[in-house]
Amino acid sequence: MVTLKTSDKIESVQFRKALGDRYLSYAMSTIVSRSLPDVRDGLKPVTRRILYAMLEMKILPNTATKKSARVVGPVQGLYHPHGEKAVYDALVRMAQPFVMRYPLIKGQGNFGSIDGDEAAASRYTEVKLSPVALMLLEGIHEDAVPFRPNYDGSEQEPMVLPAAFPNLLANGAIGIAVGMATSILPHNVDELCASTIHLLDHPEASLDDIMAFIPGPDLPTGGTIVDSSDVMRHAYQTGRGSMRVRCRYDIESLKGGGYQIIVTEIPYLVQKSKLIEKTADLLLAKKLPLLADIQDESAQDIRIVLTPKNRQVDPELLMSTLFKNTDFETRLSLNMNVLTAEGVPKVLSLIDILKAFIASRYEILKRRTSYRIEKISRRLEILDGFLIVFIHLDEVIAVIRTADDPKNEIMKRWGLTYIQTEAVLNIKLRTLQKLEELAIRKEHTALKEEKISLEGLLESKSKQTSQIKKEITEVRKTFNQQKDLVQRRTDFKVAAEIADIPTDAFVTKENVTLICSKNGWIRTLKGSVDVSDVKYKDGDHDFFAAPCYTTDKALVMTSDGRFYTLNIHELPSGRGFGEPLSVILDLDHDVSIQQILLLAEGEAQEKVLVASTDGRGFLVKKEELVAQTKNGRQVLNVMKPVQAALCRVVTGDHIAVVGDNRRLLIYKVDELPLMTKGRGVTLQKYRSGILADVTFFDEENGLTWQIGKRTYQFEDWRLWLGKRGLAGRFVPNGFPRATRFKS
């Protein structure tokens, strides 16, 4: 604690406590005064101040637009003491039809675009209130809402606007405060009005009843919501949730049997330029193998053209890959965190928000009615005075002409109030005629009847409900005069979450030849090729070559017993010598490639023998050799100087094992265990030497070996038949000198 010299104005405080108190004050100011909308009008302070300032400046729908700078200045100077950019950005947002479902500002000039372009500076753009904005301001000069002093006490500003429709849900809101945020999606105003009327008629209505009117959000940019009604119901019930939104697209047929996909609507709040840029980047990175090209042909309307790799590509599968990897499908969050009428941040359900709006409409109706009654009372007081004057007109005129103090004389003689007397003395001579008296009596009668009616309205909850329903019905009619504005834009189609799509589904199945050199340079060549014609780098030669398909995988075994997985279609192809496996697999310098296996469709359950140089090994299914990461998968455990020696696909019911000591052992495959990883069991025992080779054969076909292009049949193989783990006998005469079954 820092201790200061005390005086009347200096106090010693804990720095931690002082900082906490001040940060809490800042946080609450951010929450209440900037970031969260009011549940009653759906507006943040800055947008509310902009609309009110424009009303006061009479920048109305039926007037000419004014420079945006003329709006920003007064708002900043009178009501919102923050940065000019903050005010102008809020003004621009209210004018953007791709952000606001029902724009509150009519803009002229460059107000940005769905591509993410910035709006022009405030000195270039012009604005005026939209007709929708007037519905939020209706009755504001009739004491419909409370006012408060502005930041310096020089002006009065409304605490909330007398919104005539549920603007919070109609236009939504996005805001980030300290420790909390809000994200409310736009909805269809006609559906909101219908549900509000239903809630007025049935205050105990359930969420299911309300969702019969409001099936879900209605976004400015359209699109399709693909989550189930249960997902939306949970979000509306709790005030928190999320929902997936996809682009809307059509499939256009082309000549020759081909097609192209035309995207006409993109998800809400997605920037089209970034969407196309990201998709193009994925295309260049070969992450979207079903897509050949993407082009933006948009003008006034969105038109994104997607060209498939070929006409055999399933369009739905193509779109599924885009939904999975790009913002053609996004997840929009719903967090209905708002300020209640008491100014308290709270997460509300859909019904809570509608009820809060209804409560505000009751309050507004009462305030406007009381204001009107008070105004009528003042007018009736004046009219009562006029009627007394007309009865004694000549006497009143005489008093005015002769009395030293006509005001007091009139008040004393005929019992008029001060206000009545002032009004009488201000009467023009031309109004002192019979017709004017009749008009006053008629006005007096009409106002008295209106006052009685309004007083009855204040005393009757049912009459208030009927009046609110009438007002909301009028709002519906006003909106429905513009069908394009009120027609639902977002539709619904339940679709499951897109699971990871197998790579095979992305790839066109083509015949290729896999080539790998002794030094580890790997590549593919189209079709079946004569491997004797394949060229290698100087000092390098062949190691592995086999025909396969682009949908296959290569399983690479290294000397440390790890297996790595390569997708054939991702390997370099065409001219050149390919790429080194040491780079592709990020191998250590002391690790070498021992063998390559191919994994084709339907071969996952095939058994493979993996063996080490010390003669140990086991059987494993091919699917257990597939590595999901670039780091590979440890299958055969070895310790130096022992290395992984080989892997062979099991192709028979007997196994023949030979060591470099030229001893051969044959036994049944059934003696080998099936494992997923480990050291394995002893295949053949060696006093000295290591494992040289292994082969499999069926009992009925017998053992064979190959020297060059000739294959030799060994009929006396049963003489070498024994049990697993024995040393075996010396190889028969004629066995390859390389001690390999194929040399």
Output 443 or 21, whichever has higher pLDDT. Answer: 443
pLDDT in tens, 108-125: 999 999 999 999 999 999
Q: What domains can you pick out in the chain, each with its CATH number?
A: 43-162 (3.90.199.10), 248-327 (3.30.1360.40), 602-743 (2.120.10.90)
Distance CA 110, CA 311 (A): 41
Kindly tell me if the per-residue pLDDT of 32 is higher than 80.
no
Q: Is 504 exposed, middle or buried (0-12, 13-18, 19+ CB in 10 A)?
A: middle
Per the listing, tokens 């909301």 go with 472
Cα gap 355→1, rounded to integer Å: 50
**What would the pLDDT profile of 348-404 be if each residue is shown by its tens digit?**
999 999 999 999 999 999 999 999 999 999 999 999 988 888 888 888 888 888 888
3-state class of 376 per DSSP? Answer: helix
Side chain identity, residue 61: P
Q: What is the pLDDT of residue 415?
A: 87
Contacts of 54 (CB under 8 A, 6+ apart): 71, 127, 128, 129, 133
| 419-463: pLDDT as tens digits | 988 888 888 766 666 657 788 899 999 999 999 999 999 999 999
Whether the predicted pLDDT of 63 surpasses 60: yes
Does residue 504 surpass a pLDDT of 70?
A: no
User: Rounded to whole angstroms, how far apart are CA atoms 108 and 59?
Assistant: 13
Tokens standing for 553? 């995988």
How many CB atoms within 10 Å of residue 69? 15
> What's residue 140's pLDDT?
96
CA distances from residue 684 to 330, 617, 651, 696, 735 in whole angstroms, order as listed: 59, 10, 19, 15, 18
pLDDT at residue 35, rounded to an integer: 77
Name the 3-class secondary structure at 320. Answer: helix
Q: Which of 56, 147, 60 is nearest to 367 (CA)?
A: 147
Peptide bond into 641 cis (omega under 30): yes
Banded pLDDT at 16 (limits 50, 70, 90): confident
Q: How far is CA 364 from CA 92, 168, 370, in A?
A: 29, 17, 10
pLDDT value at position 490?
97
CB 34 within 8 A of CB 177: yes
d(CA 705, CA 394): 142
Query: At residue 4, does pLDDT exceed 60?
Result: no
For residue 590, pLDDT beyond 80: yes
Share of the chain above pLDDT 90, in %: 72
- Which residue has tokens 């903050």? 86
| pTM greater than 0.85 | no
Instruction: Compute the mean pLDDT over every residue in the chain, rounded to the nearest whole number.
Output: 91
Name 581's Cβ contacts closer than 8 Å, sequence gap at least 6. Answer: 516, 520, 521, 522, 556, 587, 593
**Residue of 23, 26, 102, 124 marked catalytic:** 124
Helix (H) or strand (E) holding 469: helix 461-480
Q: What is the per-residue pLDDT across 508-535, written as a single tens digit (0 to 9) for each?
A: 788 999 999 999 999 999 988 888 888 8
Most distant CA atoms of the chain, gap in Å: 156
**For residue 652, what are its two tokens?**
């028979």
Look at residue 708 in the predicted model and tell me its pLDDT: 87
Residue 684 has pLDDT above 80, yes or no: yes
Render the burial of 24-57: b for 16+ CB within 10 Å, e for the rest.
Answer: eeeeeebbbbbbbbbbbbbbbbbbbbbbbbbbeb
Give the residue-averaged pLDDT of 79-89: 92
Judged against a pLDDT cut of 70, whether residue 480 lies above it is answered with: yes
DSSP one-letter string for 208-228: HHHHTT--S---TT--EE-S-
Residues paired with residue 665 on neighbouring β-strands, in sequence order? 657
| Bridge-based pairing state of the strands 491-492 and 224-225 | parallel
| Nearest Cα residue to 562 out of 619, 614, 612, 502 | 612
Under DSSP, the state recorded for 199 is H
The pLDDT assigned to 34 comes to 65
Tell me, what's the pLDDT at 158? 96
Q: Tens of pLDDT along 564-583?
A: 999 998 898 877 888 998 88
Q: What is the CA radius of gyration of the chain?
A: 43
Pairing mode, strands 521-526 and 511-517: antiparallel
Give the pLDDT confidence score for residue 496 in this predicted structure. Answer: 74
The mean pLDDT value for 317-325 works out to: 92
Instruction: Compute the distance between CA of residue 28 and CA of residue 42 in angstroms, rounded to an integer.
Output: 19
Q: With b meaning 16 or more CB within 10 Å and e meaning fewer, what string describes 428-455?
A: eeeeeeeeebeebeeebeebeeebeebe
Q: 8 pLDDT band (50/70/90 cuts)?
A: low
Residue 483's CB is within 10 A of a number of other CB atoms, namely: 8
Active site residue 712: no
pLDDT digits (tens, 9 = 90+) for 265-311: 999 999 999 999 999 999 988 788 889 999 999 988 999 999 998 88
Segment 205-255, tens digit of pLDDT: 999 999 999 999 999 999 999 999 999 999 999 999 999 999 999 999 998
pLDDT band at 15 (very low <50, low <70, confident <90, very high): confident
Helices (H) and strands (E) in the chain, counts: 20, 35
Query: Are the CB atoms for 187 and 68 separated by under 8 Å?
Result: no
Q: What is the pLDDT of residue 456?
A: 95
Helix extents (H) in 120-250:
131-137, 167-171, 189-201, 207-211, 229-238
Of residues 433 and 727, more confidence is placed in 727
Among all chains, which residue has been given the structure tokens 């099991």?
Answer: 650
Q: What angle do CA 401, 404, 410 make, to 5 degrees?
A: 70
Contacting residues for 388 by C-beta, under 8 A, at least 6 apart: 414, 415, 416, 420
CA distance 44 to 177: 12
- Provide the 10 A C-beta neighbour count for residue 314: 11
The model's pLDDT over 617-654, given as tens digits with 9 standing for 90+, comes to 999 999 999 998 888 999 999 998 999 999 999 999 99
Q: 269: alpha, beta or left, given left = phi > 0 and alpha = psi -120 to 50?
A: left
Quick one: pLDDT at residue 7? 53
